């Protein structure tokens, strides 16, 4: 609003010239003053203005300069008890709305989403993303959400929407039944599935989604550990000789013994499991007593870690000892 109007008995110029980037709606402070008949209303590009009298939406003005006269706001003539003639000032609440896109709003799952997975059983996932919105229906937005607030920021709105999007993400995952290991390469499919689920809710609030994105899905620790072990196994394949070389290189002068131990355990687990399943291991170098001793030590570590049961441990131990 023009600062000059603070010193006038009636409001002569109405505008929103200092528009913060985060504000969606702003009520013109009028201090109970009345609008002069013929006053100028200035609505800039990317804005809209709404007049409200006696709890009723009187008119909505788009971008441009408007001369405010009672005959230009037809609903005023139908309001019961209108006490002024067409040449007199009138009282109205004036609201401005930002029609621009509000970009890069954030959403996420406040608590993990439980997903049934064919390989891991039940897993807990967290997801994060962003979206863009704009006000598309001013009157609906005002009635369904804004109410009589003097100012509404996108941050206020973002919190409300975040609480709604999270359960819709879980619903989309349940419908798609994407295995946990395949979620990362199916984010675009998730985007297309979630957006139709949340569109009706946004539209009911007078809001349009211009873009919605799932940016990342955080896998649980158990799945991440599985990835680490599979990666270690893939590094050596089925070649036991290469495993021994790899195992030795990690043990000698490793700058991080914890990481080395994890990788060794993952690789050794893969090779021993294959042996226990009678899957051939292409070892052309022969089996020496040193190799068998190393295998026994690795077997004991797997048993102590609870990765194999007692029967598996005893059977494999007997098999290895018979080769000495």
Look at residue 135 in the predicted model and tell me its pLDDT: 96
Interior angle at CA 315, CA 310 and CA 320, nearest 5: 125
> What is residue 290's three-state secondary structure?
helix
**Which helix (H) or strand (E) element contains residue 266?**
helix 257-276
Look at residue 14 in the predicted model and tell me its pLDDT: 94
| 295 vs 275 pLDDT, higher one | 295
Instruction: Give residue 72's pLDDT band: very low, low, confident or very high (50, 70, 90).
Output: low
Tell which residue, 93, 130, 127, has the closest CA to residue 111. Answer: 127
Instruction: Give residue 281's pLDDT band: very low, low, confident or very high (50, 70, 90).
Output: very low
Pick the range with the lowest mean pLDDT from 59-73, 88-102, 284-298: 284-298
Is residue 227 pLDDT above 90, yes or no? Answer: no
Mean pLDDT (whole number) for 130-153: 90
Mean pLDDT (whole number) for 188-203: 87
**For the whole model, what pTM was predicted?**
0.63
Look at residue 48 in the predicted model and tell me its pLDDT: 97
Question: pLDDT tens, 33-69?
Answer: 888 878 899 999 999 999 988 788 888 999 999 888 7
Look at residue 303 in the predicted model and tell me its pLDDT: 75
- Cα 228 to Cα 60, 129, 267, 270, 306, distances in angstroms: 60, 26, 9, 12, 18
CA 135 to chain centre: 20
Look at residue 242 in the predicted model and tell me its pLDDT: 56
275-281 own/partner pairs: CB under 8 Å, 24+ apart: 275/316, 276/308, 276/312, 276/315, 276/316, 279/238, 280/238, 281/238, 281/239, 281/240
Is residue 208 pLDDT above 80, yes or no? Answer: yes
Look at residue 254 in the predicted model and tell me its pLDDT: 46
Could you give the CA distance from residue 125 to residue 169 in angstroms, rounded to a whole number? 11
**Which helix (H) or strand (E) element contains residue 249?**
helix 240-251
Q: Which tokens hold the place of 106?
A: 């954030």
Question: pLDDT tens, 4-17?
Answer: 444 457 888 999 98
Report CA Rg, the chain: 34
């Amino acid at each position: 609003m023009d600062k000059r109007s603070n010193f006038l008995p009636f409001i002569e110029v109405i505008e929103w010239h200092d528009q913060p980037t985060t504000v969606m709606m702003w009520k013109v402070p009028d201090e109970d003053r009345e609008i002069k008949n013929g006053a100028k209303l200035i609505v800039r590009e990317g804005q809209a203005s709404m007049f409200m009298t006696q709890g009723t939406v009187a008119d909505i003005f788009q971008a441009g300069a408007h001369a405010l006269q009672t005959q230009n706001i037809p609903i005023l003539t139908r309001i019961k008890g209108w006490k002024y003639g067409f040449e007199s000032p009138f009282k109205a609440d004036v609201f401005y709305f930002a029609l621009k896109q509000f970009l890069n709003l954030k959403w996420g799952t406040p608590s993990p989403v439980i997903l049934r997975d064919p390989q891991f059983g039940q897993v807990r996932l967290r997801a994060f993303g962003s979206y863009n919105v704009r006000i598309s229906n001013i009157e609906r937005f005002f009635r369904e959400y804004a109410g009589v607030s003097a100012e509404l920021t996108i941050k206020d709105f973002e919190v409300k929407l975040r609480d709604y999007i999270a359960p819709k993400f879980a619903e989309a995952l349940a419908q798609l039944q994407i295995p946990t290991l395949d979620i990362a390469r199916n984010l675009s499919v998730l985007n297309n599935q979630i957006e139709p689920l949340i569109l009706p809710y946004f539209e009911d609030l007078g809001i349009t989604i211009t873009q919605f994105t799932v940016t990342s899905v955080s896998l649980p620790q158990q799945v991440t550990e599985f990835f680490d072990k599979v990666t270690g196994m893939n590094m050596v394949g089925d070649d036991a000789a290469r495993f021994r070389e790899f195992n030795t290189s990690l043990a000698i002068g490793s700058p991080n013994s914890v990481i080395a131990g994890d990788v060794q355990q993952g690789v050794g687990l893969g090779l021993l499991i294959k042996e226990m399943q009678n899957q051939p291991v292409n070892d052309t170098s022969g089996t020496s007593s040193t190799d068998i001793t190393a295998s026994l030590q690795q077997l004991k570590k797997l048993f102590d870690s609870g990765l194999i049961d007692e029967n598996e441990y005893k059977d494999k131990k007997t098999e290895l000892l018979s080769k000495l």
